[in-house]
Amino acid sequence: MRGLALCTGLIVLAMIWLGPLLGSWRTSFSAHMLAHMGVIAIAAPLIALGLPRKWRPRRSMLSALPLVASMAELLAVWSWHAPAIRAAAEVSVLVAIAEQGIFLAVGILLWWSCLAGVGERLKAGIGASALLLTSIHMTLLGALLALSPRPLYGTDEATCFGFILDAASDQQLGGVFMLLIGATVYLGGGVWLASRLVVGAHTAMDGGSSSTSP
């Protein structure tokens, strides 16, 4: 199962990085956002699922890691969507490579650290909090982009999926993609981890009841 998840994640990553989203459509903000969401919300969790989780650092270190990773992802996502930095990534291949590499690194770190604590209630709770926090900040950024009264990333038209979009429509569509894909996937991951807390609590209660039964 892990091998399948890892292979699928790498295939998704290759399709994103070698396809038109970052090639012929790279000047489109909505294409960029599809690539961004594909990396952090689809490829990264699949790759994280496929990675071994045998590393055993000190308890306090692993417990805090999801929150640290969530803060790192927040910083990366908001920084790379600053208009000046976004413009640099559009015109420079090296900047675009750095951008995508950072997105992948923080995405894998966050998902891996959250999934590593599934079996323990405290770690699962921290992981759920980290994913829900990430969903919140992606919702805020997606809404900002989708509802902005003016384009933040220039005024030129762009082509995505064969459609020509003006700058405002292109940005709004990108914001919608962040809301529909990124915010939803991270929310789903956080809710799933939170549900593990409920399952674990019920299991513990059932075990306690059984041990005290005559």
What pLDDT score was predicted for residue 209? Answer: 46
Separation between Cα atoms, residue 13 and residue 107, nearest integer Å: 12
- The whole-number pLDDT of residue 62 equals 61
Q: Where are the alpha helices (DSSP H) in the chain?
A: 2-18, 29-37, 44-50, 59-80, 83-91, 93-115, 121-147, 167-177, 184-212
Q: Can you tell me the distance from the alpha carbon of 71 to that of 68, in angstroms, rounded to the nearest whole number?
A: 5
Q: DSSP 3-state assignment of 35?
A: helix
pLDDT for res 204: 45
pLDDT at 118 (0 to 100)? 67
> For residues 51 and 37, is the Cβ–Cβ distance under 8 A?
no
Q: pLDDT of the chain along its 214 residues, tens only? A: 888 999 999 999 999 999 999 888 888 999 999 999 999 999 999 999 998 765 555 555 567 889 999 999 999 999 999 999 999 998 898 999 999 999 999 999 999 999 886 667 777 888 899 999 999 999 999 999 999 988 998 878 888 877 888 999 999 999 999 999 999 999 999 999 888 777 655 444 445 444 444 4
Tokens 């919140």 belong to 136
Whole-number pLDDT of residue 74:
95
Q: Quick one: pLDDT at residue 125?
A: 87
Reading phi first (left if > 0) and then psi (alpha if -120 to 50, else beta), residue 57 is in beta
The domain limits of the chain are 2-49+61-113+124-201
